[in-house]
A and B are shown apart, each in its own frame.
Chain A
Amino acid sequence: MTPLSSRLRTPPLALRNVAHGGRRSLAAISGVAFSLTMVLLQLGFLEAVKITAANNFEQVDFDIVLVSPRYEQFYAAGFFPLDRLTQARDVAAVVSAAPMYATFNLWRCPAYPVGQSESNRDVEPSPGPIERWLWGAHLPRPLQRRELFVMGIDLDKNLFHEPIRGRIEAAKDRLRLEHRVLLNEQSHPDFGWQIRDQVQDWELGNQAVTLVGGFPMLRGFAADSTVICSDLNFLSLCRFPPGQVSFGFLKVRDGLVATARDELKARLPADVQPFTRAEILARETDHWVNQTSTGQLFAFGVLVAMVVATVVVYQVLSNDVREHLPEYATLKAMGYSLSRLGRVVVEQSLIYMVISYVFAVILAIVVYRATEELAGIPMRLTAQNLLITLFLAIVVGFLSGFLSLSKLRGAQPAELF
């Protein structure tokens, strides 16, 4: 360890190299920063897939879920006999069991301006994402019927977490009436939540319904909107096999989750399978990330962005060393050892990386917001992704610094002239 006094006497060359670089440093930093932003963006896309996969189950308060053996993912859950819920209640550890019915159904998406009749034009205009974003809910559009995801619940066994729980409780009495529904406030704008005050004639599955409120729920890659209604309304609005149910959400006594799951598995027939909360979340994420082409494409995106970032960083740093070669040669002539010069180079590349990283994070926040607005998918900068990118930045910085050292080895003081 060099004593502090001598360290202070040595000028912080690396820092000064960066500070004196001016526009040159700025160009290097922006190159690295944009590459890192690209990595963050691709990680964000993949994260969005994971978030939307886990989100549905995260909104529900349960310890164990019963699903059909045909269960694929939340939006293609299949069904199993409702009696299994009654049987599940016989298991000692089970405190409560609440059913949920779920299926896709057609929603009458109102035209804008409201009141315009069904379009008879052969070819409709097709606005791009920017136009859609600018117009928002006021994009002129014909009446259309689009699919959304309908969830029917037993109103006396409200199985959601706040804030959805509260919205259901508040509208509970009205939801008991015939054909009353709640619509997702975060629906795709085409579904009409934003212009709800101007629309009277809502339809679900070709039957008239009345909107009695909304609830906030993320929309993902599978459904553009969601509706919640009572189980009775669900069965009258949607075609669903009688006596069957999509999910059974169970609460069990503290600490007995694994035992209860095993007992359910043993007691219930093979037409239903129990999963703990952790199991179903892992399964759901695995499905969306590894088994759909959406997840796979984004995973490839992350990989390619990382390779590109590595190449760019190396290119930027080796350029920088080459440019300062005469200065390094001078220092070498003055008696600086190779390892000391090497430290300067590596330090400098790390400074570049850290500054670029900070810029990249700021840029990423902007790009994330833009993606969220334009594509309507949840983009979150998670600590994990920030750390992955930082780690990548530092490792690549180190490597590029070391690789550039070979140039220094050949630096001849005579080159100065």
Chain B
Amino acid sequence: MLPQSIIPLAWRNLTENKRRLLASVAGTAFAVTLMFMENGFRHAMLDSMVNVIERLDGQIVIISRTLYTLAVPYSFPYRRIVQARDFPEVIGTSPVYVVTRSGYWRDLRDGSLDRICVVGIPLEDEVLNIDEVKQERDALGRPDTAMADALSRSASFGEFAAGQVSELSGHTIKLAGTFKLGINSQSNGNLIMSDRNLFRVFPQLAGKTEGDSAVTVGLVRVRPGTDLIRLRSDLQAAMPADVRVLTLEEFIAKERDFWDKVAPIGTVFYIGVVMGFIVGCVICYQVLFSDISDRIGEFATLKAMGYSNLRLFRVVVMQGVYLALLGYLAGLAVSLLLFRWVHEATGLPLDLSRNDPLAILGLSIIMCVLSGAYAARKLLSVDPAQLFA
């Protein structure tokens, strides 16, 4: 009556016919793939929306109270981040300028203009965790230079390379090099410039005095060991209501939340995951049900031998668990290939490890156990006499 004695029976039921096993696992694996894919697309979309924010080298950010997504950058005056320097826990502050709407890059191949996202940073501070940008700091300091994202959409901009000279919103710009950041549904390419160069291209951001310059994100670096939540609240209390102070994690969560829950696209992928789950349930049910039907004679014999309903039920459910595990492994393998393929085609960051693999495993097991339990109802009514029917 111990589970160990049941395990081989469920396992052997499942693996007895190799071709059939292959078909069953393939069915389950594809349902798993479907869930992985929809969830993966959702994560890729969300990850790509926070690609710039995640590279910010700081612990606390100051943003305009109006800002609800970085894709619609609303700014606040530079003097707010100067105020933050009064706090003893703060080591340094830096402004980050983001232009998403008015930056146009001229494609060297055909002279067409395409919108590009431009990030401006002060070169004196460590602002962005991008190695290539740190290495090329001197080159970025020269007038009218920028670095371009090698992962930008090549159909819009061609291949970026160091030394290329083109035009950003009417100003001649020379590329000092490339870096790898990635694009998202709101921008097809990225440029990074020094704040001074940015002000030459977009003088409206500079403001009348330094204190008026239009900052999108104010980055605050704090002493190690500082209580971030407390400092964030203290900073908020000290600032006027036109800005909001958040920890970097809160800022990332807020940005993801907008695209996940408010914008339609996140919901669409949720529905995809749910549909994948339902398809998976139906497939598993189909597999387990036809298996029970085939072995109804054997199950009847077991019952005649004195096996209880519960025990037979457990055999079928265990069979479902094995099916889920095999299907999950196969689905994982297929998804890995698929993710690489989609990544190459769209440039979106598809990373399986960030894609709740355990949650999908959980869903796969729930899916198979549920459908196993439902299919096993047939066993309750099985009659040993059926053997000879």
Contact = CB atoms under 8 A, between A and B. Distances in A.
Bound pair: A and B? Answer: yes
A323 B290 contact: yes
A304 B261 contact: no
A252 B34 CA distance: 49
A190 B264 CA distance: 13
Contact of B271 (A72, A375, A376): A375
Nearest to A37: B275
Given A34-B278, A297-B45, A308 B34 contact: yes
A308 B241 contact: no
B268 A377 contact: yes
A38 B283 contact: no
A127 B115 contact: no
Contact of B342 (A45, A300, A308, A370): A300
A132 B338 CA distance: 33
B226 interface: no
B66 A145 contact: yes
A155 to B, nearest CB: 27
Contacts of A323: 290, 293-294
A128 B266 CA distance: 10
Q: Which of the four size classes fits the interface of chain B?
A: 35 or more
Contact of A315 (B26, B38, B48, B185): B26
B155 interface: yes
- Name which of B232, B233, B261 has the most chain A CB atoms within 10 A of its CB: B261
Contacts of A123: 250
A22 B211 CA distance: 77
Interface in A268-323: 291-294, 296-297, 300-301, 304-305, 307-308, 311-312, 314-316, 318-319, 322-323
B34 A375 contact: no
Q: Which of the four size classes fits the interface of chain A?
A: 35 or more
B320 interface: no
Contacts of A370: 271
Given A38-B275, A293-B184, A27 B270 contact: no
A377 B270 CA distance: 14
Contacts of B188: 291
Given A147-B72, A308-B33, A311-B26, A294 B262 contact: no
B109 to A, nearest CB: 15
Contacts of B241: 118, 120
A322 B132 CA distance: 60
Given A41-B271, A104-B72, A375-B264, A35 B26 contact: no
Interface string A22-61: 0110011011001101100110010000000000000000
Given A37-B275, A315-B26, A375 B68 contact: no
Contacts of B183: 293
B30 interface: yes
Given A129-B267, A297-B342, 19 more contacts: A27-B290, A30-B286, A31-B286, A34-B278, A35-B279, A37-B275, A41-B275, A76-B101, A104-B72, A122-B244, A147-B72, A221-B264, A291-B188, A294-B185, A297-B44, A301-B41, A305-B34, A318-B23, A323-B293
The 10 closest A-B pairs by CB, nearest first: A375-B267, A375-B264, A308-B30, A129-B267, A31-B286, A315-B27, A27-B286, A34-B279, A126-B257, A296-B346
24 contacts: A23-B378, A34-B282, A35-B279, A37-B275, A41-B275, A45-B268, A69-B112, A106-B74, A118-B65, A122-B246, A145-B68, A221-B264, A297-B45, A297-B342, A297-B346, A301-B38, A301-B41, A304-B33, A311-B30, A316-B286, A367-B271, A371-B267, A374-B271, A375-B265
